[in-house]
Amino acid sequence: MQIGELSRLTGASVRSLRYYEEQGLLRPLRRPSGYREFRKEDVATVRGIRLMLAAGLSTTTIGEVLPCMTDDGEGLTPSCAGMLPDLHRERERLSAAAADLLAARDRLDALLEATSRLDPADPSECDTVVPPVRPPGLNPRPASAT
């Protein structure tokens, strides 16, 4: 099948499929005309790639674990425990990123709380408190020609 058909069957854009190929995640055959020729097994591979991307794995990690996946007829499933270290590493990375986001949200909540204690004000008053910063050499108004 050609790339457009694979895109239709998987919901992945043609651009994404080309990217997966660039990353070594897909290896289509090439016709003498240069067209890519995908196999029906590539449908499950693409769905697996998309599932792993949605789980937060990078394409580098997906490339490492993809050889440990097999198509069970429903999609890709793990077939060896060799990918466990990679999956644990990715889980730790995601947990750290989630903790960073929660800490940022807590800081924003503190800022919201401190701001909500202030008297309601006209937003234009904020401009007088902290003047906008202009890059050096920029005038707010062009010089008039007289």
Boundaries of every domain in the chain: 3-107
Q: What is the mean pLDDT of residues 94-109?
A: 96
Q: How is domain 3-107 classified at the architecture level of CATH?
A: Orthogonal Bundle (1.10)
* Residue 23's pLDDT band (cuts 50, 70, 90): very high
Say which residues have a Cβ less than 8 Å from residue 62's Cβ, sequence separation at least 6.
23, 25, 49, 52, 53
Q: So what's the pLDDT on residue 122?
A: 64
Q: What is the mean pLDDT of residues 69-95?
A: 85
Q: What is the mean pLDDT of residues 21-39?
A: 93
pLDDT at position 26 over 70: yes
Minimal CA–CA distance to 11: which of 41, 50, 42?
50
Beta bridge partners of 77: 70
Top pLDDT among 92 and 127 is at: 92
Beta bridge partners of 30: 36
Q: What pTM did the predictor assign?
A: 0.66
Q: So what's the pLDDT on residue 69?
A: 86
Q: So what's the pLDDT on residue 10?
A: 94
pLDDT per residue over 110-134, tens digit each? 999 988 887 766 666 666 555 566 6
Top pLDDT among 33 and 138 is at: 33
Separation in Å, CA 55 to CA 34, 52, 58, 93? 33, 5, 9, 12
Q: So what's the pLDDT on residue 12?
A: 96
Q: What is the mean pLDDT of residues 49-65?
A: 91
Q: So what's the pLDDT on residue 120?
A: 66
Q: So what's the pLDDT on residue 72?
A: 80
